[in-house]
Amino acid sequence: MERAREILATLEEQEGERKSRREAAAQRLRRQPAVQLTFFEPKKDPVVEELLGLNVMALTPIEALNTLYQLQAKAKENR
């Protein structure tokens, strides 16, 4: 009978440890921000793509201003 009590005490202690580990894992998950997964790759912004493709160092000041104006106009269209 004494052995049964020892086994029961051990099992109850182990259950308490498992619960605290589960609770700690649940708290870690709650602290992490939720992430929305997508099925499709997000649509690339053509203005950003064009901007990334520019060689800014090769533009003259007037070309840079004209390009900036064109990109701004495209960005306004895409709103």
Which tens digit of pLDDT belongs to each residue from 4-39? 888 888 877 877 777 777 887 888 777 877 777 778
pTM of the model: 0.47
Give the DSSP per-residue string, the chain.
-HHHHHHHHHHHHHHHHHHHHHHHHHHHHHHSPP----SSPPPPPHHHHHHHH--GGGS-HHHHHHHHHHHHHHHHHT-
- Give the residue numbers spanning the domain of 13: 2-77
Residue 25 confidence (pLDDT):
80
- Count of domains for the chain: 1
